[in-house]
Amino acid sequence: MRVRPRQLLCLLALMVSLLALAAPATPASAAPDQVNAEPAVVPALQKWQGRTGFFELSRHSRIVFAGAHRDRLRDQLAALPDEIEQVTGRKPALSPRHPHSGDIVLSIDPTLPEAVDSARFEEEGYTFTVTGKNVRITAPTAKGVYYGTRTLLQILLLDDGRDSIPVGTAVDWPNYKVRGFTLDVGRRFFTADFIRDYIRLMGWFKLNEFQIHLNDNGFKGDRPWREAQAGFRLKTDNPALSGLASKDGAYDRHDWDSFEDTAAANGVTLVPEFDAPAHSLAFIRFKPSLGLNNGDSDHLDLSKPETTAFMKSVFDEFTPWFRGPDVHFGADEYRSDKPRYKTYFNEIAAHIRTLGKHPRAWGSLSLMTSDTEGFDRDVTLNSWNNSWYGPQAAKKDGYSFINTNDALLYIVPFASYYHGHGLDGKYLYDNWEPNVFPDGQSVAPKDPQLLGAMSSVWNDLTMSSYTELDVHKLVEPTFGVGRFPLSVDTLIIGS
């Protein structure tokens, strides 16, 4: 079963409506001279100056792309008329003409950052100005204008008649560069429709990075490795890699291009991940000589030069598909051959840079080495576990890092560990920000090495039966984690 865009709109409407229960709102019958309260949107606006009155969307309202950079807005916001129609029942026309009363006016102004003291505003911020005659969304970039239109849509969703927007001025920007989500498709295939829908949903919540974990395998347990599930989810026509893609589901170049196109239209950047030298059973099934113990393992044998050469060939093949600036090479939980692990880590990081991308990896250095000297520092790390490599260790060693802490932000669907029934929404709202880690490992808010945070879904239970919609139901209540002023009871209702 797949989640379609209209279903996602309904889910978002439910979330925003629940948000309204916990936030002050200006009633439709407010006195004409009553100053408008801050609209309840996700995430909350950075600044709001309320005034009196409302802008009314009418059947004559248009969307006007104004200014010298209007062509960039057409590319970013081609779907906006349809999105407004889905929310309001009215489909405004696109117009290249001068704005009239009743129009929504969108524009790019590269000089705006001079008036706002925030580094993030320059890339993703926007101003949102509402009068009785017009709504004006202006930003330094097309992405900023896009996020402003998410605020527009959410306010319309919250309005009883879905046609009124309170008069006032907002200035808004994200606090962190990375606001992301990781999905493990290696252990369980998710349809291309689901991936595209989730990219759209991320845009609604102003989340901007989607890390797709493209290979992995089940745990060995009491069975031989040959019986464990393994998956690699990209399919190429290159005969040298024929047979690597999983038969139970893989994405071809057309699928991946559609992901990239959808991401570009929704303010999202894809971060593809190939995880090795552990979690590598799919590669070993394809070429058993690459594995430890004559292939009876999910760990690559790094003593063989052909192992690293093969992994480089995988990156060579697929990196041209990827439009984002970063490629993730995994590198977590490898429990063998620590000296060669360091060589592999550095070689793959350097190789990714030769392909024009910046390398990322899972932080694992605390358990892989007693001395991190000599490890490539030009790698962005996911700080996923305090024992494997916590934020304080990453900070001390000079790495940029992303909070992906397992104790707080991992979901393993229906497991008895790692939030098997969804994240703890009440705890996260009451106590969490991206700088918060457990066990005394927190860093200062907006620490310059902390890029942001990601929640993650890991499909460890490869033998269990559940659907992609079941996963969505676990994720959805806290997808905008840290941004919902909702009680835990409301979060449960929302799911």
In sequence order, what E strands does 404-445 have?
410-411
Alpha carbons 426 and 443: distance in angstroms, whole number? 21
Segment 263-284 mean pLDDT:
97
10 Å CB burial of residue 94 (0-12, 13-18, 19+) is middle
56 pLDDT higher than 60: yes
250 pLDDT higher than 60: yes
pLDDT score, position 97: 77
Alpha carbons 31 and 53: distance in angstroms, whole number? 9
10 Å CB burial of residue 237 (0-12, 13-18, 19+) is exposed
pLDDT score, position 18: 44
pLDDT score, position 494: 29
pLDDT score, position 10: 53
Alpha carbons 61 and 151: distance in angstroms, whole number? 18
| In the block, residue with structure tokens 């490629």 | 327
pLDDT score, position 116: 74
Alpha carbons 149 and 326: distance in angstroms, whole number? 27
Q: Decide: 103 and 62 in contact? Cβ < 8 Å.
A: yes
pLDDT score, position 29: 44
pLDDT in tens, 398-408: 999 999 999 99
pLDDT score, position 71: 83
Lowest mean pLDDT among 18-22, 120-124, 303-307, 376-380: 18-22
76 vs 4: which has the higher pLDDT: 76
Alpha carbons 17 and 29: distance in angstroms, whole number? 19
Q: How confident is the model at residue 30 (pLDDT cuts 50, 70, 90)?
A: low
pLDDT score, position 493: 25
Alpha carbons 244 and 194: distance in angstroms, whole number? 23
Q: 473-491: b or e for each residue (b if 16 or more CB lie within 10 Å)?
A: bbbbbbbbbbbbebbeebb
On average, the pLDDT of the chain sits at 90
DSSP summary character for residue 434:
T
Of 144, 209, 156, the closest CA to residue 183 belongs to 209
Segment 244-249 mean pLDDT:
97
72 pLDDT higher than 90: no
Of 246, 228, 239, the closest CA to residue 291 belongs to 228
First to last CA, the chain: 17
pLDDT score, position 302: 97
The three-state secondary structure class of 359 is strand
Token pair recorded at residue 289: 């000589």
21 pLDDT higher than 50: no
Segment 127-147 mean pLDDT:
97
Lowest mean pLDDT among 10-14, 59-63, 148-152: 10-14
Q: How confident is the model at residue 70 (pLDDT cuts 50, 70, 90)?
A: confident
Percentage of the chain beyond pLDDT 90 is 81
pLDDT score, position 264: 94
| In the block, residue with structure tokens 């460890």 | 460
Alpha carbons 138 and 90: distance in angstroms, whole number? 23
pLDDT score, position 76: 83
pLDDT in tens, 478-493: 887 544 332 222 222 2
246 pLDDT higher than 90: yes
Q: Which helix (H) or strand (E) holds 195?
A: helix 192-204
Segment 140-169 mean pLDDT:
96
Q: Decide: 177 and 120 in contact? Cβ < 8 Å.
A: yes
Residue 416's contacts (CB-CB under 8 Å, 6 or more residues apart) are: none
Of 124, 149, 119, 154, the closest CA to residue 137 belongs to 149
The angle at the Cα of 453, spanning 451 to 458, to the nearest 5 degrees, equals 135
Written as one letter, the residue type at 58 is S
β-bridge mates for residue 54, sequence order: 166
Residue 139: φ, ψ to 5°:
-150, 160
Percentage of the chain beyond pLDDT 70 is 90
Lowest mean pLDDT among 14-23, 400-409, 414-423, 450-459: 14-23
The angle at the Cα of 163, spanning 159 to 167, to the nearest 5 degrees, equals 80
